[in-house]
Amino acid sequence: MDPSPSAASVGVRTATSAGSSRYRFVVLTVVWAAYLVVFLSRLCVGPLAPFLRDAFDLSNAQVGGLTSATAVVYAPTLIFAGWLVDSIGVRRALLTGTAITGACIGAVALAPSYGTMLLLLGASGLGCGFIYPTAVKAIMLWFPAGERATAVGVNQSAVNVSGMLGAAVMPWLAAAFGWQAGFAFAAVLALLVCVLAVALYRDPRPEDPPSATPPEVPLHELDGARPTSDDDGSSGRVTATAGFVAVLRSRDIWMMGLAALLLGAVEFAALAHLVLFLNGAWGLGVAAAAGMLAFSQLAGAVGKPLSGLVSDRVLGRRRVPALIGMGALAALSCVAFAVLAPGHTGLLWGALFLLGVGAIGWGGLMGTLAGETGGRTAAGAAAGVSAAFVNVGIFLGPPIFGLIVDRTGAYAPAWWALAA
């Protein structure tokens, strides 16, 4: 008797499923590494701030402007890149984003003036903008619904690991070789990850298991976009353009974006000015202040996957209540910075922990909520649009915080403004 075709096909499917199940962790590793180098490039201004201030004779507001410069191009690029990754796939988008980031950040190391540095950091936003929607899209494609918030949280922890790496390495590099060495280090890592993405990442194939290709969220039914049909008459396949239009018309996306804007302003204002605050108001050395920044980043790195795990396993995949709780922790940390007097070091460490968990740790849940709202077809667009709102907050938060400090001569009013 001939071997049963059905049994053979079951064996093939089982082997394929097992391999693809393991491969999703390769995917997570690749997008995590890409996210790390992008945010190392963006966050290195904070730990390098004292060196840049001395080198270019900058005010606090100008230092905040360096942090915001990337957001000028980054925010609109997120929207375009979100649509593009839905069209061209994750692999090409990863290659484009990491290559542009590495080239621009490498050029920053050669900048002769503050204005040139602003322009180059702004240009780097073109590459950085590809990575967030690409990472969310990859996770929506490869991870089942019950693991997505945890996976996005792990991916978002790359932001905090990059912050810890920057806080630990950048001041040392600047002291030993000049501030230029910090940007050169970030550029080399970005180009290495570009090679890694090309070598290891692939988009799902039709034979991959169902968990790797989750069902779409019918945004077209909610927001009026019409799905297209294949030549064979099958429906339900929303094109990238129609999905993008549906995302733009979604009330949920706009409400999510407003919340993300406010949280982004708090997070990046704190990251940009924390070292200067601890150095100026508390009298700590730059190395000690950078160490405390690294501690907050560590708390955020733990908070992102942990909050995702709680949302996936404890809250039944409900993202909004967890986000509200993290926003409350962020506000509480800002109040603590406003009222604590130098010398209360134990309470300061507690405030730094709350800052990390709340003000830094919220991004994974927001990314998951955006990706799930967009579904498989429009996940990139939904993530890109919501992240564009974040970057409006990033653009506004750091310079406004610095301006308040410059005008009042104190940090407390600026912290109260963030808490509000």
pLDDT exceeds cutoff 60 at 315: yes
Between these two residues, 404 and 211, which has the higher pLDDT value?
404
What CA–CA distance (Å, rounded) separates 295 from 288?
Answer: 11
Each residue's pLDDT tens digit, 144-153: 877 888 888 8
Backbone angles phi, psi at 202, to 5 degrees: -140, 150
Helices H / strands E in the chain, number of each: 15, 0
What CA–CA distance (Å, rounded) separates 127 from 148?
Answer: 25
What CA–CA distance (Å, rounded) separates 392 from 369?
Answer: 19
Per-residue pLDDT at 205 = 67
Q: For the chain, what are the domain ranges?
A: 17-223+238-419
pLDDT exceeds cutoff 50 at 413: yes
Per-residue pLDDT at 376 = 66
What CA–CA distance (Å, rounded) separates 398 from 162?
Answer: 19
Per cent of the chain over pLDDT 70 is 84
Each residue's pLDDT tens digit, 126-170: 888 888 888 888 888 888 877 888 888 888 788 778 877 887 888
What CA–CA distance (Å, rounded) separates 297 from 364?
Answer: 14
Each residue's pLDDT tens digit, 79-108: 888 878 878 888 888 888 888 988 999 998
What CA–CA distance (Å, rounded) separates 94 from 106?
Answer: 18
- Grade residue 185 by pLDDT with cuts at 50, 70 and 90: very high
**Which residues contact residue 70 at a Cβ distance below 8 angstroms, ignoring those fewer than 6 apart?**
41, 42, 121, 122, 124, 125, 128, 394
State the amino acid at position 80 in one-letter form: F
User: Is the distance from CB of 156 to CB of 35 less than 8 angstroms?
Assistant: yes
Average pLDDT along the chain: 79
Q: Provide Rg for the chain, Cα atoms.
A: 22
CA distances from 301 to 147, 169, 264 (A): 17, 18, 16
User: Is the distance from CB of 312 to CB of 297 less than 8 angstroms?
Assistant: no
Per-residue pLDDT at 303 = 80
Each residue's pLDDT tens digit, 47-58: 888 888 888 888
Give the 3-state secondary structure of residue 237.
strand
- Grade residue 415 by pLDDT with cuts at 50, 70 and 90: very high
Q: How large is the average pLDDT for residues 334-347?
A: 88
Q: How large is the average pLDDT for residues 216-245?
A: 47
Each residue's pLDDT tens digit, 2-53: 444 444 444 444 344 444 578 889 999 999 999 888 888 877 787 888 888 8
- Grade residue 120 by pLDDT with cuts at 50, 70 and 90: very high
State both tokens at 373: 């709202």
Fold exhibited by the domain 17-223+238-419:
Growth Hormone; Chain: A; (1.20.1250)
Per-residue pLDDT at 240 = 61
pLDDT exceeds cutoff 60 at 200: yes
Q: Which of 107-111, 179-183, 221-225, 300-304 has the lowest mean pLDDT?
A: 221-225
Residue whose C-alpha is closest to residue 293's, from 277, 281, 312: 277
- Grade residue 349 by pLDDT with cuts at 50, 70 and 90: very high
State both tokens at 276: 């200067």
Backbone angles phi, psi at 237, to 5 degrees: -95, 100
Q: How large is the average pLDDT for residues 332-358?
A: 90
User: Is the distance from CB of 382 to CB of 152 less than 8 angstroms?
Assistant: no
Q: How large is the average pLDDT for residues 369-387?
A: 74
